[in-house]
A and B are shown apart, each in its own frame.
Chain A
Amino acid sequence: MLLLIPLLPLAGFLVNAFAGRRLPKAVSGLVGCLAMIGSFAVSSAAVWGLVSSGEHAVEQTVFSWLSSHSLQVPFALRLDHLSALMILVVTGIGSLIHIYSVGYMHEEPDGEYARYFSYLNLFAAFMLVLVLGASFPVMFIGWEGVGLCSYLLIGFWFHKHSAADAGKKAFVVNRIGDFGFILGMLLIFTTFGTLDFQGVAAAAATRAPETAVGVMTIATMLLFVGATGKSAQIPLYVWLPDAMEGPTPVSALIHAATMVTAGVYMIGRNAVLFEHAPITLAIVAGIGVATALMAGTIGLVQHDIKRVLAYSTVSQLGFMFLAMGVGSFAAGIFHLYTHAFFKALLFLGAGAVIHALAGEQDLRNMGGLKRQLPITYWTFLIGALAIAGVPGLAGFFSKDEILFRTFTAATPGHTLMWVLGVVTSLLTAIYMFRLVFLAFHGERRHEAPMPQQSEEEEPVTQVSGTVPPPALAAGHVPAVHGSDHHAAAQQGAPGHHGMPHEAPWSMAVPLILLAAGSVLAGYAGLPHALGGSNRIEQFLEPAFHAPTQAVEIVASAAQPPIVPVALGLQLPGDAHAGEVHAGEVHADAATELRLMALSSGIAFAGIGIAAYFWLRRRDAAAAVADRMRPLHRLLLDKYYVDEAYDALLVQPLTTLSRTVLWRGVDAGLVDGAVNGVGLAVGAGSDALRRAQTGSVRTYAAMFFAGVVVIVGHYLL
């Protein structure tokens, strides 16, 4: 049954890879979508079976894969609570993105269309192997496989030079991380003698946590190197923003919702091991918060709509690593899960905008799209509110959980990390709403060039009556209305890029479903302080313990009266009502409530700042940018990290390869040896052939001399 989950997308891949060229678009799209939806159905059934059975894990051994003396690695899949959540996210959001792709990619020719869906299905298959794998090597199959699919999909439009380069960059940077992963895996095998996750956890649990750098610290550090590669953390994050060269649904699926979370998942999977290496955990937290802050600041000034979202992804992944680093694995996975919803939504929304504008990605050329793309606008707004951490939406609960856990953590420097985290969430709100205001509000600043359209664009004077914009949300700044001839939305005309047109249903439905998810997903982890029971944490908790350890989940004995979420914020005095004793980790609920109030204030402040600069006084934003020109420049050029890597690593390596390795070692040493042998033999032969005089008597003399020598040797 478990095997069926990755096998279905793999079957979809095989169909589209081998028969796709001859299939019409409708069929290859249908095959791709059905494979994913089928996988989702099987996953749901499997998870339901797991939950209703009350077991901690279900396992299926497919075959014995590696068998050599003490190294025994069966190809085994294991479904526990952690991988249950992951497969639901991967197949659920994956299905929606597949459906969205049907609309988004409809302009591709048949063969390309099938190629796209085959890659997408292959990716899903590998990702499911990654999360279901019961041991390091099985996970590694998926780990490498998703890297490969990422390469294939980033470079999907490989005739575009930048896309091909971006794919290569992603692959190379990921390989650097993978190398760390392999080394970590080997070290774990030599230390614990097993590669099975449960076995490793059980073995690690018997040891004392390492206070100094020991073998577990080194192993976890190496694994973390792998995680930084896959999950785009400092110093290996540089590939993710470039990955935006791929089709937008790919960015949503791979580079926002699923693959990039593999590193976070891997740390969660090895929670016991990491808990026994507090030094690594502190580094993980530090790297996480530093990445979050840095990516957030870069996202503040970028012009490309997808790049802003890419840096936002890096930043949110930083938050997840922060959670992992302070030992709150459930909070990290919770954020992974909510982030999957709203980041997929934001990317798909951005895709709808790009689609509507025939490929325009520059925020400076957008604006005023709110009336033309109402569905996109409202869903995108929900996503932005969710990621900004506005109370009541998914991102609020998960981000707040992380910040709360950081605040109360025992990690050294946790207060500083908390402050940086809060600053980052302020930045998150600002850059997200900068994006919303620049793209959807105000006036259309530039008629996007319509490359696919030859006819002159005539001004449409009639105001759209078909799509009345829904009522503005309270507290939301009303938009400046665009001029009339931009206002008409051309609905339901896919394929014709005249005026910006709203997304076709195949794109709109996933947007709406994801928007619903972005609102509701957070309630799975309603914290105790707000009267919930943090069900997601209880659900995940068994996965973070060694199998032999007694898992204590103290259910909330006395459920407090349900306090409405929105009201809960205003009732700090009611805090103790929400306090539930679920283990010793729960700190004072009052603290949690105060922090919540603070972070919601931060979210609103961020939105307010964004509204002031990019809605009311855009000139002020320009003025500020002008006044801090060097800083602005620095952020716009992404801290020159790419340039620094280029100068420090890429160029020296190229120079070394070119001068020493190529010209010196290959052309000089290797070629020299080969050619030298040939030349020496040639020269020797040239000298020796002089003996071949052609004169019979010379030969006879040599004969004679030879006989004399031989006979002389035997006689004397």
Chain B
Amino acid sequence: MVSLNHYLILSAVLFSIGTAGVFLRRNLITVLLSIEVMLNAVNLTFISVGRYLGTVDGQIIVFFVMTVAAAEAAVGLALVIALFRHRETLNPDAFTSLKW
């Protein structure tokens, strides 16, 4: 029997993987993908808790998250293109001129 805990553990694992991707990967596109993974880990939590409680609130919020994630991906990829045209690289460590 698959219980709620299984879903939550899976969600936590996915979230951790996404977080690690954001911190460790040196490619901006991969970082954006990792963020998507993190968002979907959260979506999974909402869905499973919604189901567990027998309400539709979780599903509604997930739809919101998915629209925002789509917009975010669009803006993010546009920025990535602009940055790449500027610097010919996608390493986030190259973009540190906005400091002190």
Binding site for B on A (CB under 8 A): 689-690, 692-697, 700-701, 704
Do B23 and A694 have beta carbons less than 8 Å apart? no
Interchain residue pairs A-B with the least CB separation, the first 10: A694-B99, A694-B96, A689-B100, A694-B98, A696-B92, A695-B96, A692-B100, A692-B99, A693-B99, A697-B92
Interface SS majority for chain B: loop
Residues of B within 8 A of A689 (CB): 100
CB of B71, distance to nearest CB on chain A (Å): 20
Write the B18-49 contact mask toward A (1 if CB under 8 angstroms, else 0): 01001100000000000000000000000000
A-B contact count (CB 8 A): 27
Contact of A704 with B19 in the complex, beta carbons under 8 Å? yes
Which residue from chain B places its CB closest to the CB of A697 in the assembled complex?
Answer: B92
**CB interface residues, B 57-100, toward A, < 8 Å:** 92-93, 95-100
Residues of A within 8 A of B100 (CB): 689-690, 692, 694
Q: How far is the CB of B2 from chain A (nearest CB, A)?
A: 25
Which residues of B lie under 8 Å from residue A700 when comparing CB positions? 22-23
Please name the residue on chain B nearest to A691 by beta carbon: B100
**Shortest Cβ distance from residue A693 to the other chain B in the assembled complex, whole angstroms:** 5
Identify 17 residue pairs between A and B in the complex whose beta-carbon atoms are under 8 Å apart, listed by A's number.
A689-B100, A692-B100, A694-B95, A694-B96, A694-B97, A694-B98, A694-B99, A694-B100, A695-B96, A696-B92, A696-B95, A697-B23, A697-B92, A697-B93, A700-B22, A700-B23, A704-B23
Give the docked Cα–Cα distance between A695 and B91 (Å): 11
User: Chain B residues near A696 (CB, 8 Å)?
Assistant: 92, 95
A residues near B97, Cβ cutoff 8 Å? 694
A335 to chain B, nearest CB (A): 84
Q: Please, how many angstroms separate the alpha-carbon atoms of A704 and B92 in the complex?
A: 17
In the complex, which residue of chain B has the Cβ closest to the Cβ of A690?
Answer: B100
CB distance from A608 to the nearest CB of B (A): 96
> With a CB–CB cut-off of 8 A, which chain A residues contact B99?
692-695
Contacts of A697 in B (CB 8 A): 22-23, 92-93
Q: Which residues of B contact A690 (CB under 8 A)?
A: 100
Determine the residue in chain B with the shortest Cβ distance to A693: B99
Q: CB-nearest residue of chain A relative to B98?
A: A694
Which residues of chain A have C-beta atoms less than 8 A from B22's C-beta? 697, 700
Interface residues of B (CB under 8 A from A): 19, 22-23, 92-93, 95-100
Which residues of the partner chain A approach B23 to less than 8 Å between Cβ atoms? 697, 700-701, 704
Query: Given known contacts A694-B97, A695-B99, A700-B22, what 17 new A-B pairs fall within 8 Å (CB)?
Result: A689-B100, A690-B100, A692-B99, A692-B100, A693-B96, A693-B99, A694-B95, A694-B96, A695-B93, A696-B92, A696-B95, A697-B22, A697-B23, A697-B92, A697-B93, A701-B23, A704-B23
A704 / chain B contacts, CB cutoff of 8 Å: 19, 23
Chain B residues with Cβ under 8 A from A694's Cβ? 95-100
Cα of A213 to Cα of B92 in the assembled complex, Å: 90
* A689 to B23 Cα, complex, angstroms: 22
Q: Chain B residues near A693 (CB, 8 Å)? A: 96, 99
Closest to B95 in A: A696
Docked complex Cα distance between A690 and B99 (Å)? 8
Chain A residues positioned under 8 Å from B95 (CB to CB)? 694, 696
- What separation, in Å, do the CA atoms of A692 and B96 have in the docked complex? 10
Chain A residues positioned under 8 Å from B96 (CB to CB):
693-695
Query: Considering the chains assembled together, what is the distance between the CA atoms of A312 and B53 in angstroms?
Result: 111
B19 surroundings in chain A (CB, below 8 A): 704
**Taking each of A689, A690, A692, A694, which has the highest tally of chain B beta carbons within 10 Å of its own beta carbon?**
A694
Q: How far is the CA of A704 from the CA of B23 in the complex (A)?
A: 10
Q: How far is the CB of A274 from chain B (nearest CB, A)?
A: 77
Q: Tell me, rounded to whole Å, the shortest Cβ–Cβ distance linking A704 to chain B.
A: 7
CA distance A689 to B98 in the complex (A): 12
B98 contact set on A, CB distance < 8 A: 694
Write the chain A residue with the least CB distance to B96.
A694
| B11 nearest CB across to chain A (Å) | 15
CB distance from B28 to the nearest CB of A (A): 9
Q: How far is the CB of A183 from the nearest CB of chain B, in Å?
A: 61
CA distance A72 to B22 in the complex (A): 81
A696 to B25, CA, bound (A): 12
Collect the chain A residues with CB atoms within 8 Å of residue B92's CB.
695-697
Most interface-central of B22, B95, B97 (chain A CB within 10 A)? B22
Using CB atoms, name the residue of chain A closest to B100. A689
Q: How close is A688's CB to chain B, nearest CB, in angstroms?
A: 10
Residues of B within 8 A of A692 (CB): 99-100
A690 to B96, CA, bound (A): 13
CA distance A696 to B26 in the complex (A): 11
Contacts of A701 in B (CB 8 A): 23
Distance in angstroms from A538 CB to nearest chain B CB is 93
Q: Of all chain A residues, which has the CB nearest B28?
A: A696
In the bound assembly, the distance between CA atoms of A408 and B78 in angstroms comes to 115
Whole-angstrom distance from the CB of B8 to the nearest CB of chain A? 14
Residue of A nearest to B99 (CB): A694
Report the minimum CB–CB distance from B44 to chain A (whole Å): 18
Q: With a 10 A CB-CB cut-off, give which of B23, B97, B99 has the most chain A CB atoms.
A: B99
B84 nearest CB across to chain A (Å): 15
Give A71 to B34 CA distance when docked, in angstroms: 82
Q: How far is the CB of A103 from chain B (nearest CB, A)?
A: 80
Closest B residue, CB atoms, query A703 = B22
Distance between A685 CB and nearest chain B CB, rounded to angstroms = 10
CA distance A697 to B34 in the complex (A): 13
Task: Compute how far the CA of A690 lies from the CA of B22 in the bound complex, rounded to whole angstroms.
Answer: 23
A696 CA to B35 CA in the complex, in Å? 14
